[in-house]
Amino acid sequence: MQDRAHHWLQQILALPLEKPVRIMNVCGGHERAIAMAGLRSLLPSAVQLIPGPGCPVCICPEEDIHQAIQWALDQRVIVASFGDMLRVPVNGPRGEVNSLAAARAAGAEVHAIASPAEAVRIARENPERQVVFHAVGFETTMAPIAAMIIEGLPDNLLLLASGRRTWPAVAMLLDSPDAGLDALTAPGHVATVMGPEEWAFVHQRHRIPVAIAGFTADSLLAAIHAVLVQWLEGKAPLTNCYVAAARPGGNPRARQLLAQAFDVVDAPWRGIGVIAQSGYALKPALAAHDARHQLPLVTPAQPGKDLPPGCDCARVVLGKISPPACRLYGTACRPASPIGPCMVSDEGACRIWWTAGLHRRTPPDRASGAANVEGHS
């Protein structure tokens, strides 16, 4: 694997790159692999690797998190969610419970889980109480949740569905006048479920090179090399550099389960707004298990605020700035005391960069190019 990575790196270094090329990834796993391996420092200075919308925790709507907190506190239901979600803060008056972790500290029963099966287990162990599973994730997470739903849920298990689809956010970016990217590396795990061809719109509609990448340095470098060659040649085909797992048509059974359990709907992304056809909502036939139908909805304490003052998480998610360009990065906002969701999640660019030692602050006017910064401290 190391030899293959070295091979692709040498191939990239040999390319005649005379002007900057902006390559966006849309996967927290990709960004983590890039940052931890220090790939930016090895690539030509012309290659700018930009983290994009690849973190489902980062874009989970504040109102959904607020609902889960209030249900745990006021309705005395048991709330279960994936570990990262417990620490994501919401806006509110000083001193008010502002996260699921804080709700647990205040006496609410909140469980951090690693798989949907744990939510089923908790519901079966507590048949006299309602259990809300806050389901957050992209296609690869929502597929096993769909399988759990179709298999059959305990009567007392409700879902707060906050799942999202990956490609509509990229489509929204590319349709905007200032997309800010020249090429794309697409997430291999999503392509494994949905099929590589789901990303064909990138080159068909926008004439931008795109390659499906895995999660090792050699696969990422192969994908980067592929899109750079396409960019130099003025071509824009879809290249699959993750052929071992991402095959045409994806996983038909997983796609069928998603279609059986969920409707695709327009959905809000935190700090960004509503993106067309980007959300998963439970089918009407499953209303008995839909927390939004079965529990009272609560208006956020500060409706419309969405992100904390000064937090630039939305612009980081969209690749408009690099993490160090946020004025809170590394000062008020660190992993031990996160203010924005991008510093909470293991898939958030801010958390990834900080963990990788990329601590140097970047002037805001160098935002889009700042993704090439390697500021170790």
Greater model confidence, 145 or 76: 145
Alpha carbon distance 188, 190 (integer Å): 5
Percent of the chain with pLDDT over 70: 93
pLDDT of residue 146: 98
pLDDT higher than threshold 70 for residue 20: yes
Alpha carbon distance 140, 280 (integer Å): 12
Alpha carbon distance 365, 350 (integer Å): 18
> Tens of pLDDT along 139-178?
999 999 999 999 999 999 999 999 999 999 999 999 999 8
Alpha carbon distance 341, 69 (integer Å): 16
For residue 335, with 0-12 CB atoms within 10 Å meaning exposed, 13-18 middle and 19 or more buried, which class applies?
A: middle
In order of 12, 41, 78, 177, the CA distances from 44 in angstroms are 8, 8, 51, 27
Residue-wise burial string across 309-319, b where 16 or more C-beta atoms lie within 10 A, e elsewhere: eebbbbbbbbb
pLDDT higher than threshold 80 for residue 200: yes
pLDDT of residue 372: 37
pLDDT of residue 168: 98
| CATH superfamily of the 23-31+39-294+307-313 domain | HypD, alpha/beta domain 2 (3.40.50.11740)
pLDDT of residue 376: 33
Give the single-character DSSP code of 286: G
Alpha carbon distance 129, 131 (integer Å): 6
Mean pLDDT of 62-69: 95
Instruction: Please tell me the pTM assigned to this model.
Output: 0.92
Mean pLDDT of 90-95: 85
Domain positions in the chain are 23-31+39-294+307-313
